A and B are shown apart, each in its own frame.
Chain A
Amino acid sequence: MPTPSLILVPARFKTGKLYTPYATTSGGVVLGASGDFNVTRATTATRVNASGLIEVVASGIPRLDYYTSGGTAGCPALLVEPSGTNGILNSENTATNWALGLNLSSGYVDVIGVSGNNLTVAVSGSNIGTAAGRLTRANNNFALASGSTYTISFLIKKTGTHTIGGYYALLTGAASGNLGAGFDISGSFSSGAIYNTAGTTNRIRRVEEWGTDVYRCSETFTMTASGTLGFLYFAPVSGVTSAFNPAVGLGIAFAAPQIELGSLPTSFIPTTTASATRNADNISLSGVVSGCIGQTEGTIYAEVDIQFNNRNADIIGLDSGSSANGFYLTIRSSSVIELRIRQNSTNALIFQRTGAYPVGINKIAVSYKNGDFAISLNGTTTQVDTTTITMPSVAITRASVVPSINFTLDQSVRVRSAALYTTRLTNTELAALTTL
C-alpha cells in the first residue's frame, strides 16, 4: 500500500487550527505546521464530550465530538455543521422563564450536561392541552416562513417508569393552529401527531438514543403558510397521539428544546432570553497543500459517521480555490457515493457508486485518473468508470473538509479520519483501505 501524502485524524488542535499529523508533498517535503488545517467558526458551539455530556466549545475551536449512534461516547470525530439558529428561548435551562402548570410538580435534572426539568403529574385529569398540565415557554416569537422546512428537537430523559412525552406549539398568523406530537422512548421509538395544524405538511418524527435513558426527539415539518411560533409546551402524555396525561405520579424530564430552519436537527444551540445563532464550521487549507494533492491522479479517503443518508453533502473537496476546477468526494440525496470532477466550471465527471451506503460509520475512497476512476465503500468490490474526460488543467491548491461547495450542508457530519494519496490506488488497495 502506498504511503498517504496527507493524513488527518482529528485529535490535536488549538484555536483556529486542526493539526495534521502527517503532510508530505510528492517531492518528500514535510509540511509541518504549514500543513495544519485552518478552522473558522466565529461563535461558540456545542459538542458531546468524552463523558457523553453536551458542553460548549469556544469560538474557532474544532469540535471533537464523541457522540456515536446509540448514545454511547465513542471515538472522537470532527463535527462539521452548517449554521443554525435556535428560536426557543431559555433552552439552556427549562426551569428559567418557563411556567409550570398547577397540576404538575417539577425538579432539576441533569440531561447529559443540559439543565432539564423533570415533570411529574401531581393531579390527574389535566393534559398538555390545558395550562395546568404543561410546562410553558411563552413569547418565543419565532417566525416561520411559508414553504420553508423547520425542525423542532428536544431531549427527553426517562426518570421513572413513564416513557411518553410530548410537545405542543401554538402557531399564530396565517398558519394559525396547534402543532404537537408524542414520542415513546420505551424502545419501540413510536411517535405520532397529537395536534395538526393546517399550516404544516410533510411531518416527520424521529427518536434517537443520546445516552443512558436520554433520547433526542425531533419533528420536521414544512410550512404551507407563514406564521409565528409563540408558545411551546412540554408534558408527559399517555400516548403518542393523545394529549391526555398519565396517572398521578408518573413523570418524565425535558431539556434542550430547539427549533431551527432545516430538515434535520443539529447540535444543541443554548439560548437565554434571545434566540441564538451558531455559525458554520469552515475547515480548509490552501496553498502548500497542493503538493499533497495528486494533480492528475490521486485518491481521496474518508471515514465518516453519517446519521442521515438521504442528503447531499461534499465530504472532502480538492479544488482550485473555487468550484471551477476540482475533485470532490460527495454523498448524494439518493444515498449513494459520488466522485465529482469539475473542469472549467462544468461537471466533467459525475460518477456514482451503485447501491446505497448505510447510515452510521462508512469508510469511503474515490480514485481519479483519466479513463480510470474508482469508488470503494466499506471494503466491498470497487466500482470503476473508464470514461475519458477533460481533466482540470489548473493547479489544485485547496483541501476542504465537508465544505459547502457543490452542495449546501444541511446536517451534522462527523469525520473520523481522512487521507490523500497522489496516485490512483489499485482496486485491491482501495478495498483494503476501506475495510471496516
Chain B
Amino acid sequence: MATFRKYAFPKQADADKVLALCTGTTAAVALGVLDGLVCYDILWEGDAPEEATQYETWPEPCGVHSFLGWDEQYEEDYHQHKNL
C-alpha cells in the first residue's frame, strides 16, 4: 500500500537526503518554495520512511497539489494527524 505525505524542508540539501530514499515506483513532485520552505509531495511505494517524518507538513486537504485518487486518503490522514 502506497503512502502519500507532504514535506517542507528548510534547505534543498535536506530534501535531497529524503529524495535519495525514493526507490522503485515512489514518486516525488517538487512544489517549489512555499513560505520559505522547499516543498515536495511524495507518494511512497510503501510506508513513509521514519527519516522523513520530521519534515512532514499537514496543510488543509489537499494543499496545492495531490496525486490522482489520493484526496480522500490524505484528508483521512490529515484528520488523524490533527487528533494526535
Interface residues of A (CB under 8 A from B): 40-45, 56, 58-59, 83, 85, 141, 143, 269-270, 272, 274-280, 282
CB distance from A41 to the nearest CB of B (A): 8
Contacts of B29 in A (CB 8 A): 85, 277
Measured between beta carbons, the chain B residues less than 8 angstroms from A143 are 32
B2 nearest in chain A by CB position: A42
Contact assessment for A42 and B43 in the assembled complex, using a CB-CB cutoff below 8 Å: yes
Would you give 12 A-B contacts (Cβ < 8 Å), ordered by A? A40-B25, A44-B68, A141-B64, A143-B32, A270-B68, A275-B65, A276-B66, A276-B67, A277-B29, A277-B43, A279-B25, A282-B25
| Interface Cβ pair total, 8 Å cutoff | 58
* B22, chain A: closest CB distance, angstroms: 12
Among the interface residues A40, A41, A270, A275, which one has the most CB atoms of the partner chain B within 10 A?
Answer: A275
Closest approach, in angstroms, between the C-beta of B35 and any C-beta of chain A? 13
A interface SS class? loop
| B64:A274 contact, CB within 8 angstroms | yes
Indicate whether B77 reaches chain A with its CB closer than 8 angstroms: no
Contacts of A42 in B (CB 8 A): 2, 25, 27, 43, 45, 67
- CB–CB B65/A274 < 8 A: yes
Within 8 Å of chain A (Cβ to Cβ): is B18? Answer: no
Q: Could you say which of B63, B65, B69 has the most chain A C-beta atoms within 10 Å of its C-beta?
A: B69
Q: How far is the CB of A45 from chain B (nearest CB, A)?
A: 6
Residues of A within 8 A of B62 (CB): 274
Contacts A42-B2, A143-B32, A274-B62 given; indicate if A269 touches B25 (C-beta within 8 A). Answer: no
Q: Is the CB of B64 within 8 A of A43?
A: no
**Cβ-defined contact, A43 with B43, below 8 A:** yes
Q: List the B side residues contacting A270 at CB < 8 Å.
A: 68
For B27, what are the chain A residues with a Cβ–Cβ distance below 8 Å? 42-43, 83, 277, 279-280
CA distance A24 to B15 in the complex (A): 46
Max chain A CB contacts within 10 Å: which of B25, B43, B45?
B25
The 4 closest A-B pairs by CB, nearest first: A44-B69, A42-B2, A43-B68, A44-B68
A346 and B16 alpha carbons, distance in the complex (Å): 29
State A277–B65 Cα separation when bound (angstroms): 8
A201 to B66, CA, bound (A): 30
Which residues of chain A have C-beta atoms less than 8 A from B69's C-beta? 43-44, 56, 58-59
Are B25 and A276 interface neighbours, CB within 8 A?
A: no
Cα(A56)–Cα(B71), bound, Å: 14
Contacts of B64 in A (CB 8 A): 141, 274-275
For window 29-82 of B, CB contacts with A under 8 Å fall at: 29, 32, 41, 43, 45, 62-71
Give Cα A279–Cα B62 distance, bound, in whole angstroms: 17
Q: What is the CA–CA distance of A391 and B41 in the complex, to the nearest angstrom?
A: 42
Task: Check B25 against A277 for contact (C-beta < 8 Å).
Answer: no
Tell me the bound Cα distance from A40 to B66 in angstroms: 18
Chain A residues whose C-beta falls within 8 Å of the C-beta of B63 in the assembled complex: 274
Give the chain A neighbours of B45 by CB distance below 8 A: 42
**Cβ contacts under 8 Å, A277 to chain B:** 27, 29, 41, 43, 65-68
Of the candidates A40, A269, A274, A280, the one having the most CB atoms from chain B within 10 angstroms of its own CB is: A274
Q: Which residue of B lies closest to A275 (CB)?
A: B65
For the complex, what is the distance from the CA of A225 to the CA of B46, rounded to whole Å? 37
Within 8 A of A (CB), among B1-31: 2, 25, 27, 29
Q: For the complex, what is the distance from the CA of A272 to the CA of B68, rounded to whole Å?
A: 10
Measured CB to CB, the nearest residue on chain B to A40 is: B25
Q: Are B68 and A269 in contact (CB under 8 A)?
A: yes
- Shortest beta-carbon distance, B47 to chain A, in Å? 13
Give the residues in chain A near B67, CB-CB below 8 Å: 42-43, 276-277, 279
From B44, which residue of chain A is reached at the shortest CB distance?
A42
**Chain A residue, CB-CB nearest to B61:** A274
**Chain A residues positioned under 8 Å from B43 (CB to CB):** 42-43, 277, 279
Task: Select A43's contact among B32, B65, B70, beta carbons within 8 Å.
Answer: B70
Contact A274 B66 (CB under 8 A): yes
Cβ–Cβ < 8 Å partners of A83 in chain B: 27
Q: Which residues of B contact A276 (CB under 8 A)?
A: 65-68
Among the interface residues B29, B45, B63, B67, which one has the most CB atoms of the partner chain A within 10 A?
B67
Least CB distance from A210 to B in Å reads: 20
Chain B residues in 8 Å Cβ range of A40: 25
Contacts of B66 in A (CB 8 A): 274-277
**Nearest-CB residue, chain B, relative to A59:** B69
Bound complex: CA A275 to CA B63 (Å):
9
New A-B pairs, 8, CB < 8 Å, besides A85-B29, A277-B29, A277-B65: A42-B2, A42-B45, A43-B43, A43-B69, A269-B68, A274-B65, A275-B66, A277-B68
Instruction: State in angstroms the CA–CA spacing of A45 and B67 once bound together.
Output: 10
Complex: A83 Cα to B62 Cα, angstroms: 19
Residues on A with C-beta less than 8 A from B32 are 143
